[in-house]
């Protein structure tokens, strides 16, 4: 019956992780449905995780992740999010899992005065890792009172092999024409793998995107590598959770 079925609230920041509790899940096959995970620390606390998941084959269906910086920490292993709302400001979808987001609402909100929004910060450190963020059939639109002059980016490379793909998604005009932001300096490592595949909407134009070696044009065959079937081998375990999903493109 919606997000009020379960509400998990944290006031802690990421800096507190070693000494204070946050909402975190670890067990294989974890499933959450119709739940809200909220961090109420506010933007002035900087890194403030609403949920951290290390659970392999974890499924989140019709859930809400509400915070500011670092809202959703998809830490590791295989994860799947369907019809969820993810709200935040800086690096608010981050981690080094193999994760697919399908049919989700990605909702950048107003940050602090000296900040800009970055949706993703993927943390692959080794090219041999099968990890990355796949965003498929999602909608990126502003949340609340987000200023039209506030710069919002699809992501920035947290680590040297950062891997993120947006495909078949609706990208609103809030996304800056350059699309992506370096972690430091004026460019990104050539070893990253970023791609935008057949997206639509006023923010989806590739005309003025950054000219990075790591921002790649991919074929249908390459895009399939980031689907539920090929990227997270999710057919059986997502079906077992009773959640609908799209296997391929």
3 state SS of 224: helix
CA atoms within 13 A on the CB side of 55: 20
Is 126 marked active-site? no
Q: Is 70 a catalytic residue?
A: yes
* CA 11 – CA 49 distance, rounded (Å): 9
- Active-site annotation holder among 34, 85, 91, 126: 91
Beta bridge partners of 136: 102, 167
DSSP characters over 68-122:
SBT-EEE-SSEEEEES-EEEESEEEEEESSEEEEES-EEEE----TT--EEEEEE
The Cα 49–Cα 71 span in angstroms is 5
Q: Which of 70, 126, 208, 240 is catalytic?
A: 70
Nearest to residue 195, comparing CAs of 158, 159, 154?
154
What span, in angstroms and rounded, lies between the C-alpha atoms of 52 and 60? 12
Element housing 238 (H / E): helix 235-240
Catalytic residues: 70, 91
């Amino acid at each position: 019956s919606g997000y009020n079925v379960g509400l998990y609230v944290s006031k802690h920041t990421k800096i507190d992780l070693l000494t204070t509790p946050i909402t975190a899940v670890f067990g294989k096959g974890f499933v959450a449905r119709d739940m809200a995970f909220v961090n109420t620390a506010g933007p002035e606390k900087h890194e403030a995780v609403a949920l951290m998941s290390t659970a392999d084959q974890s499924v989140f269906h019709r859930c809400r992740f509400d915070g500011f910086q670092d809202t959703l920490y998809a830490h590791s292993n295989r994860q799947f999010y369907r019809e969820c709302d993810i709200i935040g400001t800086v690096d608010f979808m981050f981690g080094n899992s193999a994760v697919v987001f399908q049919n989700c609402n990605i909702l950048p909100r107003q940050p602090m005065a000296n900040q800009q929004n970055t949706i993703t910060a993927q943390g692959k450190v080794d090219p041999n890792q099968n990890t990355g963020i796949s965003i498929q059939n999602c909608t990126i639109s502003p949340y609340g009172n987000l200023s039209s002059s506030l710069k919002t980016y699809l992501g920035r490379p947290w680590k040297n092999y950062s891997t993120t793909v947006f495909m078949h998604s609706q990208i609103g005009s809030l996304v800056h024409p350059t699309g992506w932001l370096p972690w430091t300096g004026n460019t990104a490592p050539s070893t990253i793998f970023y791609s935008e595949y057949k997206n639509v909407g006023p923010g989806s134009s590739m005309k003025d995107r950054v000219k990075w070696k790591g921002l790649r044009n991919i074929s249908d065959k390459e895009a399939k590598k980031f689907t539920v079937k090929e990227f997270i081998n999710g057919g059986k375990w997502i079906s077992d959770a009773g959640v609908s999903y799209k296997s391929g493109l």
